[in-house]
Structure 1
C-alpha cells in the first residue's frame, strides 16, 4: 500500500477481522500482517503489527452487531487491556478473554504479535454477569490449564487451515470445552484438581444450550437426548445451579433480547422479530417474562434514555 494509505488500510483490516474500532497508530506504519483461518464455527487469527492503541466505544458497539468473544493470546511484545473497570498487562504466552459487545481499550506499545481465537459469545454457556467477571482477567502461562491452552491456541493458529472439516469440528468442540472449564475455574465454580464427570457434563450442556437458543424447540427432552442422558438426570445436574433447565434457557434468551433491543442496527426490527430471533414464539409470553425479569416492558426498555 502507498505510505499515505497504510494507516487507514490497517485500521479497516483490524476492524473487519475483529470488530469496528477506533485505532491510533504511528505516523509511519511500516508493516503489518493478518492471517485468519476458520476452525468449524470459530476463527483463528494471527496478527503482527506496529505499536498501536485501539478502542471499541459504546457508539461503535451500537452501530455494529458483534456477538463475539476474542481470546487474545500474546505471542510477542507487551499488551495492556482495559475492560469492565479492570486493567491487565500481558506478556508472551499469556492471554485474556475480551468481550467485543462491551467497551474495551487495548494498547500495544511495541511491535507485537497476537494469536486470537474468535468465538460466539454464547459458545461458553455463560450469563452476562459471568462473562463480565472473566473479561480482562489474565490467564498466566504458569497456570496448569492456562499453560496448556496457551500452547494449544498457538498451535491451532499456526495449523488450523490444514485440518479437514470433521477434524476441525472436533478440535473446535474440544477447545471450547477447555475454555469453558477455564472460565468456571476463574468464576470459582470448579475446585482444584480434575472436575467431576457431572461438572464437565454441565459445561457441555450449557454450551449446547448457548448454541441452540434460537431454536424454539429447545427443551429438556431435546437436551437430554443430545447428551445421551435421561431428563431426570438432566434436572439432577442442574440442582446445584439453583435454577431449573427451563429457567436457564429463558434467562439466556432474555439477555440476548435485551442486548438486541439496544442496538442501533436492530432499530428497524420489531420487538416480536427480536423475540423470535431468540426462540420466543409468543409475543405475550415474551412481554410478560421480560417485565418480570427487568421491571419494564420491552418497548419501555428500548425507548428508555441512555447515559
Structure 2
C-alpha cells in the first residue's frame, strides 16, 4: 500500500519543514530549498515492489541537495546504498554529481548514486518518478556505477526510450501482486538498469566532467565541513581554494544562491535540525547557535525567524507538531 505525504493540510509556515521530512522519508535525507517566496506545495507517494522503492513526486520549484553531512549521519554501506533512476514526467531538472552536470528534460532519464553527494535543481513545478535499486542487486563493479552516476539519458530513442516506457508504465500504477511476482518484476527492472550501466562508454565519463562543476562541489563540501567557524566567509572560502573572490562569485552565478547566503542557509539548517531533536539534557539555543557559527545570538534569532517563521525557542517547542503523521 502506498504511503502518501502532502503539504495540502499543513500550515504555510510549517510546509518547508514538513516537506523536507517527507522527502527524506520517501527518498533519502536531503536539504530542501524552495525556489520561490510563497508556501511550497508538494505531494510524494512511495511504495515497495520487491527490492525496489518507488516514489512519485509532484511539487513546486525547489533544490534538493544530499551532502556529505547527510551521509555522515546515516552513512549507507555499499551493501545498502542505492542507485536511483528518475523519469522526468513534467518540468525540467539539473542533476549534479561527481563533477558532472546534466540537464534533464521532460521524458528523460537521470541516474545518480544516493551513497555520494548530489543535487537536483528543479527551476519550475515538476513531476518525477524515482526508482531506488540496491547497489548489491545490480552486481556491477564500482567503476561501472561511478561512470554512470550524474548523467541524463534521452527517453526518445534507443535503449533510453525502452527503459522510459517500461518504468513509466510500472511507476504510474504499481500493480498489487504476490511477493513472488513482485520479485520477478523487480528483477526485470534491475536487469534493464544493469544493462544500461554496463553499456555506458567509459570515455563518456571524462567527456561529461566539467572542472568548474567539480570545484563547486568541493567548495560546497568545504562549507559544510567548516560551518562552525564564525569566520567562514566568501573571502576565506576563496583563499582555501586558491581562487579570487570574484571568480568564486562567478562560479556560483548558476547555483541560484550566493556563497554568503549558502553559508547562512546551511548553518540555519543545522541549527533547525538540532533544535528539532529531543535529546536530554538539551543544549541552550545560544549554545546551538554558537556551535554552528553564529556569534551573535540576537542576529541568529532574527535570521532564524525570517527563514522559518518562528523564533528558535518556538521552533523547539513546536517540534512535536512539525513531525508528520502517517
Indicate whether 1:2 and 2:11 are aligned.
yes
User: What is the alpha-carbon root mean square deviation over aligned residues?
Assistant: 1.6
Post-superposition CA distance 1:62-92 (Å, at most 9, x none): 1113311111110100000000110000111
Assess if the C-alpha contact under 8 Å between 1:55 and 1:104 holds in 2. Answer: yes
Listed as ranges, the matches of 1:228-307 within 5 Å are: none
Partner of 2:23: 14
The CA deviation string for residues 259-279 of structure 1, in whole angstroms up to 9 with x for no partner, is xxxxxxxxxxxxxxxxxxxxx
Q: Determine the C-alpha separation between the residues in 1 that align with 2:69 and 2:177.
A: 38
Residues of 1 paired with 2:25 and 2:143: CA distance? 27
- Distance in 1 (alpha carbons) for counterparts of 2:202 and 2:182: 30
Decide whether the 8 Å contact of 2:46 with 2:54 is kept in 1.
yes
- The answer to whether the 8 Å contact 1:80/1:108 transfers is yes
How far apart are the structure 2 equivalents of 1:34 and 1:82?
22
Aligned to 1:122: 136
CA distances 1:92-114 after superposition (whole Å, capped 9, x unpaired): 11112111111101100000001
- C-alpha distance in 2 between matches for 1:59 and 1:144: 38
Say which SS state the counterpart of residue 162 (structure 1) adopts.
coil
Segments of structure 2 that go 5 or more residues without pairing to the other structure are 1-9, 204-326
1:33 and 2:38 equivalent? Answer: no
| TM-score, normalised by the number of residues in structure 2 | 0.56
Q: Is the 8 A contact 1:69 1:121 kept in 2?
A: yes
Check if 1:63 corresponds to 2:73. Answer: yes
Q: Give the match's secondary structure for 1:54.
A: strand
- Please point out which of 128, 135, 141 is paired with 2:155: 141
Bigger CA drift: 40-49 or 153-162?
Answer: 153-162
Q: Is the 8 A contact 1:84 1:135 kept in 2?
A: yes
What do residues 130-156 of structure 1 show as CA deviations (whole Å, max 9, x unaligned)?
A: 211001121111332110110111111
Asked if the contact 2:95/2:102 (under 8 Å) is kept, the reply is: yes
- Please report how far the alpha carbon of residue 188 of structure 1 lies from its aligned counterpart in structure 2 after TM superposition: 5.9
State the alpha-carbon separation in 2 of the partners of residues 133 and 49 from structure 1.
29
Contact 1:24 1:53 in 2 (8 A): yes
Q: Structure 2: how far apart are the matches of 1:127 and 1:175? A: 18
Aligned length: 189
The equivalent position to 1:95 in structure 2, one of 88, 109, 112, is 109
